[in-house]
């Protein structure tokens, strides 16, 4: 228990703060004690000066008796020796007083009771002496009261320090225990995650403190982790499902080629079919690997200022003829756009995939429009829309899943990863994708934040390995 308490960060912080406070309390007490002592000494000296002045004023010229009587009366009024008096003649003879000795010098001094002839007393006295006529008058006061006040101050500070220590220990234990419980919940949750229970989440108390912020961030990371794991699981299932058929076809084609070879028949056609199947399978895995690399952020270090409008113009020139050969019309309307931070090759791939997707899945007579414009001061959007048959609303969220293909698209070439690649590139650039009904047709909008909102944007010029986009002349085949 004590070891766990000592290792607790909150308890250590409370202990350090309490030690700092105690040091400050000690310094403040020392200063306060010094000021109180100085004030008490000043008042005592003022009282002694007034007493000396009053007694001295009673002395008339050659009228020693009144001075002696006044000293005797003051001495008699202080049987407890809180005040001491001594009147001596010029020859040193004691004329009056309640002590038998005193300092030989005049002015202020401090003397013990022994030095004043009070052997049974252990006190110290503040003494003031000076001439009064032909005599020397000594008045003094015990410092016991001043020392008693100082002792009270010191004991009060000591008691306050002890009580504060007790309070700090109790408070530290309670705070540490409360914080430790919350840290234990975080540790338990992470242990559950380690055992594969990805649905576990850290309880949040909504205190808006640092532990709540940490818990929320961890929960968000766990949400993301859970989504990635589920996505990977789904990808594994999709790969097994979607590649089973082409692998079976490849195996069947190779088997037919072997049988024909044994009978001496030509196998060139079957080998060509096998090669096509292998290329399609290889393209699928290459696309999956490219998506994984993009999602890992490996290309973010290559970000630089990119002119999106220039990319769109180049793609329009490349695909306008392809759309025309398919009996379609490709148009473009691009407003002046600010530069954004990104990878030019990946952004080219993103828009090329959207344009190719529209050309491939739209029938003849369809108009495909590329538009781009500002979205306020902080963003701009690029849209690829068509007036074709579109896709059902229920399929909008699914088309971005890896290897997902609409039923009507399964007869066309492809591996169902084009829009997944688009999503990965958009997320890498901090952009969002939105689908909407174009009435008729479909509109895909990519909304980009302002360039200043993109992290890791710099002006370095990096020689990139271009993702060359070559428009396919017969996408419908």
b/e code 381-418 from CB counts within 10 Å (16+ = b): bbbbbbbbebbeeeebeebbbbbbbeeebeeeebbbbb
Rounded CA separation 152/29 (Å)? 12
Two tokens at 259? 């049988």
Q: What is the pLDDT of residue 92?
A: 85
For 325-354, what is the mean pLDDT? Answer: 90
For 376-382, what is the mean pLDDT? Answer: 79
Rg (C-alpha) for the chain, rounded Å, is 49
Rounded CA separation 169/15 (Å)? 8
Q: Does residue 6 register a pLDDT over 50? A: yes
For the ranges 55-59, 323-327, 362-366, the lowest mean pLDDT is seen at: 55-59
Q: What is the pLDDT of residue 459?
A: 39
For the ranges 11-20, 51-60, 151-160, 404-413, the lowest mean pLDDT is seen at: 404-413
For 278-283, what is the mean pLDDT? Answer: 79
Q: What is the pLDDT of residue 466?
A: 37
Q: Does residue 141 register a pLDDT over 80? A: yes
Q: What is the pLDDT of residue 296?
A: 66
Report which of 383, 380, 304, 385 is spatially closest to residue 336, judged by C-alpha positions: 380
Q: What is the pLDDT of residue 355?
A: 93
Q: Does residue 444 register a pLDDT over 80? A: yes
Per residue in 14-41, pLDDT (tens digit) is 778 778 887 887 888 888 888 888 888 8
- For the residues of 358-381, what is the DSSP string, one character each? HHHHS-TT-EEEEEEEE-SSSEEE
- For the residues of 434-474, what is the DSSP string, one character each? EEEE-SSSEEEEEEEE-GGGSTT----------------TT
Per residue in 409-437, pLDDT (tens digit) is 444 555 567 777 888 888 888 888 888 88
CA distances from 147 to 36, 58, 114 (A): 11, 33, 18
Range with the largest mean pLDDT of 1-15, 20-34, 205-219, 349-363:
349-363
Q: What is the pLDDT of residue 3?
A: 63
In terms of pTM, does the model score above 0.85? no
Q: What is the pLDDT of residue 120?
A: 57
Scan for tokens 């689908």, then name that residue. Answer: 435
| Helix, strand or coil, per DSSP, at residue 327 | coil
Q: Does residue 139 register a pLDDT over 50? A: yes
Q: Does residue 308 register a pLDDT over 70? A: yes
Rounded CA separation 206/213 (Å)? 9
> What pLDDT band is residue 200 in, cutting at 50, 70 and 90?
confident
Q: Does residue 47 register a pLDDT over 50? A: yes
C-beta of residue 135 within 8 angstroms of C-beta of residue 64: yes
- For the residues of 201-240, what is the DSSP string, one character each? --------SHHHHHHHHHHHHHHHHHHHHHHHHHHHHHHH
Mean pLDDT of the residues in the chain: 80
Q: Does residue 399 register a pLDDT over 50? A: yes
In the 8-state DSSP scheme, what is residue 330? E
CA distances from 421 to 182, 188, 284, 365 (A): 41, 37, 12, 28
Q: How many CB atoms lie within 10 A of CB 17?
A: 12
- For the residues of 131-165, what is the DSSP string, one character each? EETTEEEEEEEESHHHHHHHHHHHHHHHHHHHHHH
Residue 440 preceded by cis peptide, ω within 30:
yes
């Amino acid at each position: 228990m004590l070891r766990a308490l000592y290792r607790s960060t909150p308890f250590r912080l409370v202990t350090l703060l309490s030690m700092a406070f105690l040091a400050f309390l000690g310094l403040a007490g020392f200063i306060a004690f010094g000021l109180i002592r100085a004030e008490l000494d000043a008042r005592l000296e003022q009282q002694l000066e007034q007493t000396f002045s009053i007694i001295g004023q009673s002395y008339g010229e050659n009228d020693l008796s009144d001075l002696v009587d006044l000293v005797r009366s003051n001495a008699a009024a202080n049987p407890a020796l809180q005040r001491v008096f001594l009147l001596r003649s010029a020859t040193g003879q004691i004329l009056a007083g309640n002590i038998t000795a005193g300092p030989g010098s005049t002015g202020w001094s401090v003397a013990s009771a022994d030095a004043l002839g009070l052997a049974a007393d252990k006190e110290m006295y503040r003494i003031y002496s000076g001439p009064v006529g032909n005599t020397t008058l000594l008045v003094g006061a015990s410092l016991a009261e001043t020392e008693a006040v100082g002792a009270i101050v010191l004991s009060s500070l000591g008691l306050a320090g002890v009580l504060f220590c007790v309070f700090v220990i109790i408070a530290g234990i309670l705070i540490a225990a409360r914080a430790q419980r919350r840290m234990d919940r975080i540790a338990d949750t992470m242990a559950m995650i380690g055992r594969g229970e990805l649905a576990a989440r850290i309880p949040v108390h909504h205190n808006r403190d640092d532990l709540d912020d940490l818990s929320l961030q961890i929960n968000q990371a766990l949400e993301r982790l859970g989504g990635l794991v589920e996505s990977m699981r789904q990808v594994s299932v999709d790969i097994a499902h979607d590649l089973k058929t082409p692998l079976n076809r490849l195996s069947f084609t190779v088997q037919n080629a072997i049988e024909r070879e044994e009978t001496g028949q030509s196998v060139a056609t079957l080998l060509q079919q096998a090669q096509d199947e292998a290329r399609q399978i290889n393209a699928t895995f290459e696309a999956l690997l490219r998506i994984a690399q993009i999602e890992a952020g490996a290309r973010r270090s290559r970000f630089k200022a990119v002119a999106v409008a220039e990319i769109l113009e180049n793609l329009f020139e490349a695909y306008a003829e392809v759309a025309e050969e398919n009996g379609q019309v490709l148009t473009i309307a691009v407003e002046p756009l600010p530069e954004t931070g990104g990878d030019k090759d990946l952004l080219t791939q993103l828009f090329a995939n959207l344009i190719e997707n529209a050309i491939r899945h739209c029938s003849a007579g369809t108009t495909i429009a590329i538009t781009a414009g500002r979205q306020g001061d902080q963003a701009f959007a690029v849209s690829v829309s068509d007036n074709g048959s579109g896709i059902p609303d229920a399929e909008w969220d699914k088309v971005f899943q890896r290897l997902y293909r609409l039923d009507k698209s399964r007869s066309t070439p492809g591996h169902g990863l084009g829009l997944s690649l688009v999503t990965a590139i958009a997320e890498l650039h901090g952009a969002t994708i939105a689908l909407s009904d174009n009435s008729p047709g479909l509109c895909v909008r990519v909304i980009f934040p302002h360039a200043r909102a993109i992290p890791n944007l710099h002006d370095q010029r990096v020689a990139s390995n271009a993702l060359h986009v070559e428009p396919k002349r017969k996408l419908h085949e």
